């Protein structure tokens, strides 16, 4: 079942048409790879579907009902989380603080009303979240800024995974990572999918796409030009769809 359907999304930046009546679908419990050449509109699409940017025309249906993604808060309330390329972590705060940023658990009673936080609950919750995903976050009280790229990525993905219950968008989650960390993040993605969440990730690495994705949706010049089942697809097909050598929409 499609959790999220986007139809005819339009977004322009001045003279540049980033999205030109673009369609997109997200299925529950599936990994969808969103691929396309530079400037195809992948990041813009994800920003619009996560409420960070606004579309000029089009419709977004969530669980069959039309919704207005007017802000990131709306998307979050629907159970949609996004990991952007810059990760949006606070480098001076530790993984626990980052995981719970904006969702701090208050203490019970008066102390909670005064703004005191239940650090114990948050720490336990973080440990569960990281070990749940097999994330290699080693120290929970070290500032995230002191961590390696792979660990930062793990924190960002784990944060999204622990709050999302419907969809996670990942904008090039492996772009800055080495071989081992890339493998870990891809494993993480599979594990999130196995929880029944729809995972959408942007990637430029076709082998990566074919190994993790269940479905591939291809954007070119702001439109979806192909939807492919990863299992039946070849590298040539993906590249062909991206570059325009192949133009039919495959269902």
Partner 1 sequence: MSATQREAAAQEIVAESNPGLVKTITRAQATQIVLVLIGLFVLFSIINPEAFLSVFNFRSIIVNASIFIVLGVGVTFVIITAGIDLSIGSVLVFSSVMSALVMESLGTEGWAIAAVGAVVAVLAGALWGLINGLLVTRAKVPAFIVTLGTMGMALGISQVITGGIDLYNVPEVLVDTVGFGDVFWEIPTLSVIALVVVVIGGIVLHKTKFGLYTYALGSNLEACRRVGIKVDYNLTWVYIVSGVCAGIGGYLSLALYQQTTIAGNSLTNLAVIAGVVIGGTSLFGGVGTMFGTVIGLLIPVTLRQGFVISGVQAFWQEVVVGIFLIGAVYVDGVRRARASRGSGTKPKQKAIGGLKIGSTEKEGNSE
CB of 157 to partner 1, least distance (A): 14
* Token couple for 92: 């001076």
Nearer to partner 1, 192 or 219 (CB): 192
Which of 57, 66, 142, 245 is in the footprint of partner 1 by CB under 8 A?
142
Which of 12, 85, 127, 227 is in the footprint of partner 1 by CB under 8 A?
127
CB of 185 to partner 1, least distance (A): 11
Nearer to partner 1, 111 or 245 (CB): 111
The DSSP 8-state label assigned to residue 39 in this structure reads T
Q: What are the two backbone dihedrals, phi and then psi, of residue 100, each rounded to the nearest 5 degrees?
A: -100, 10
Binding mask 174-213 for partner 1 (x = CB under 8 A): --xxx-xx--x--x--------------------------
Which of 21, 53, 59, 104 is in the footprint of partner 1 by CB under 8 A?
104
Q: Does residue 117 interact with partner 1 by CB under 8 A?
A: yes
Q: Can you tell me the distance from the alpha carbon of 250 to that of 234, in angstroms, rounded to the nearest whole number?
A: 13
Which of 56, 57, 68, 103 is in the footprint of partner 1 by CB under 8 A?
103
Q: Can you tell me the distance from the alpha carbon of 160 to that of 200, in angstroms, rounded to the nearest whole number?
A: 12
Binding mask 73-92 for partner 1 (x = CB under 8 A): x--x-----x-x-x-xxxxx
Residue with tokens 């993984």: 95
Tell whether the torsion through CA atoms of 68, 166, 3 and 49 is positive or negative.
positive
* Token couple for 237: 């097909």
With b for 16 or more beta-carbon neighbours within 10 A and e for fewer, the 125-141 pattern comes to bbeebbeebebebeebe
Q: Can you tell me the distance from the alpha carbon of 166 to that of 63, in angstroms, rounded to the nearest whole number?
A: 10
Residue 143 CA: distances (Å) to CA of 82, 98, 149, 227: 22, 9, 13, 41
Which of 19, 22, 40, 147 is in the footprint of partner 1 by CB under 8 A?
147
Query: Which chain residues interact with partner 1 by CB under 8 A?
Result: 52, 72-73, 76, 82, 84, 86, 88-93, 97, 101-104, 106, 114-117, 123, 127, 130-131, 134-143, 145-151, 176-178, 180-181, 184, 187
């Amino acid at each position: 079942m499609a959790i999220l359907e986007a139809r005819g999304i339009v977004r322009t930046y001045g003279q540049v048409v980033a999205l030109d009546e673009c369609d997109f679908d997200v299925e529950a419990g599936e990994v969808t790879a969103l691929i396309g050449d530079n400037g195809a509109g992948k990041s813009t699409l994800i920003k619009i579907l996560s409420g960070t940017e606004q579309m000029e025309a089009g419709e977004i249906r969530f669980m069959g009902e039309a919704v207005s993604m007017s802000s990131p808060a709306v998307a979050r309330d629907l159970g949609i989380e996004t990991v952007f390329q810059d990760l949006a972590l606070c480098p001076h705060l530790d993984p626990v603080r980052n995981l719970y940023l904006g969702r701090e658990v208050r203490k019970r009673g008066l102390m909670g009303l005064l703004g005191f936080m239940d650090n114990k609950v948050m720490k336990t919750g973080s440990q569960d979240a990281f070990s749940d995903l097999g994330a290699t976050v080693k120290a929970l009280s070290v500032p995230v800024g002191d961590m390696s790229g792979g660990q930062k990525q793990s924190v960002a993905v784990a944060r999204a995974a622990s709050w999302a219950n419907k969809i996670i968008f990942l904008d090039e989650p492996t772009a800055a990572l080495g071989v081992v960390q890339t493998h870990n993040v891809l494993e993480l993605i599979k594990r999130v999918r196995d929880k029944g969440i729809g995972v959408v990730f942007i990637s430029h690495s076709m082998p990566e796409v074919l190994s993790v994705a269940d479905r591939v949706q291809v954007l070119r010049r702001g439109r979806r030009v192909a939807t492919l089942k990863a299992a039946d697809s070849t590298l040539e097909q993906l590249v062909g769809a991206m570059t325009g050598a192949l133009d039919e929409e495959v269902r």
